[in-house]
Chains A and B, each alone.
Chain A
Amino acid sequence: MKVNDQEILARIRSPFTKELGFRELIETYQKPVYQVIRRMVLIHEDADDLTQNTFIKAYKALDRFEGNSSLFTWLYRIATNESLTFLEKKKKRFFFSLDDHQEKLESYIDHSSSLSGDEIQLKLQKSLLKLPDKQRLVFHLKYEEDLSYEEISKITGTSVGALKASYHHAVKKIEQEITQE
């Protein structure tokens, strides 16, 4: 039986069923949350850490969840912020020359068995890596997850106009990249 957001929230808010509710929250949303994070950070171990952090943060902040958006939107907001913060950290590290994260990701695309070996998929992954992180995120949410601009606007707190422009630029760049021989 599939539980809905209201049931999950009601269970979490009762001291007797809090843990059951939290488990249901994780079981219901773990796959999309993991996938959206993984699309951004690529490496499973990183995505695993960030997925766990997302749910822990959600759990701790659930008392403040007002229900103005769906749990899905709210979790995605936490997950995307976690991913962007993580990538930002990695970039700052690169500045200190201890770790070139971009190179690591490119090498991961070439060698990981958890990515499809299909040539066009690898090309797509590599061209996505060339986009700025936030533009890449908008592309994923719109093109891969098929979310509406209004939903993405709630997740990112950004205007629909800015998102449309960002998406348009992302698509143009990727098209150019993958059609190049």
Chain B
Amino acid sequence: MQKIPKQQPFQVPENYFEELPEKILAKARRPKAKLSWTWAAAAVVLLGVGVWQSGEFNANPSTPITADDEVLLYIDSEQWNSEDVLSFSDNPNELLDQIIEEELAKSEPLWTEEETWF
């Protein structure tokens, strides 16, 4: 144990702790903005944009294929991967955060007795 040094405290920008309480209080006072779009809505936008970019959506109006089907075909045939689909969006990082947020919400609590610790 003596071989392990104690970690030094991390340095912070000047006046950080003097200004932090006010920053947090300002956030707490702010009324909560409603989430403007859910993942479902985002997916619809993505799919729509993707199909529009493909330029084939209206190529053959007699074919009864939906936008969703078409995007899935591209994904299934490995012409598009998840990154391609994400890249159709203006803000892929924000979308990805949203998806992960929802996945995490569905997953198990972070601390469970059964999990492996080693």
Do A and B form a real pair? yes
Contact A171 B1 (CB under 8 A): yes
Contact A135 B10 (CB under 8 A): no
**Alpha-carbon distance between A140 and B7 when the two chains are bound, in angstroms:** 9
Which residues of chain B are near A88, meaning CB under 8 Å? 104, 110
Cβ of A153 to closest chain B Cβ, rounded Å: 10
A27 at the interface (CB under 8 A from B): yes
Interface residues of A, CB < 8 Å — how many?
58
**Alpha-carbon distance between A26 and B17 when the two chains are bound, in angstroms:** 10
Which residues of chain A are near B6, meaning CB under 8 Å? 143-144
Which residues of chain A are near B13, meaning CB under 8 Å? 44
Contact A121 B17 (CB under 8 A): no
Which residues of chain B are near A140, meaning CB under 8 Å? 7
B103 at the interface (CB under 8 A from A): yes
Which residues of chain A are near B25, meaning CB under 8 Å? 19, 22-23, 26
Q: Choose one: B5, B10, B96; the contact of A98 (CB below 8 Å).
A: B96
Contact A34 B12 (CB under 8 A): yes
Contact B104 A85 (CB under 8 A): yes
B4 at the interface (CB under 8 A from A): yes
Which residues of chain B are near A92, meaning CB under 8 Å? 100, 103
A134 at the interface (CB under 8 A from B): yes
Which residues of chain B are near A135, meaning CB under 8 Å? 117-118
Contact B111 A23 (CB under 8 A): no
**Alpha-carbon distance between A89 and B96 when the two chains are bound, in angstroms:** 9
Contact A134 B117 (CB under 8 A): yes
Which residues of chain A are near B21, meaning CB under 8 Å? 23, 26-27, 30
Cβ of A162 to closest chain B Cβ, rounded Å: 6
CB neighbors of A among B65-96 (8 A): 82-83, 86, 92-93, 96
A61 at the interface (CB under 8 A from B): no
CB neighbors of B among A19-48 (8 A): 19, 22-23, 26-27, 30-31, 34-35, 38-39, 44, 47-48
Most buried by A among B4, B9, B28, B101: B4
Do A178 and B3 form a contact, CB below 8 Å, given A19-B25, A56-B27, A162-B117?
A: yes
Could you give 22 example pairs across A and B, Cβ below 8 Å? A26-B24, A34-B20, A44-B13, A47-B10, A48-B20, A55-B24, A81-B111, A84-B110, A88-B104, A88-B110, A89-B100, A96-B86, A96-B96, A98-B96, A114-B12, A115-B8, A116-B8, A118-B8, A124-B5, A125-B7, A162-B117, A175-B1
| B residues adjacent to A (C-beta < 8 A) | 1, 3-13, 16-17, 20-21, 23-25, 27-28, 82-83, 86, 92-93, 96-97, 100-101, 103-104, 110-111, 113, 115, 117-118
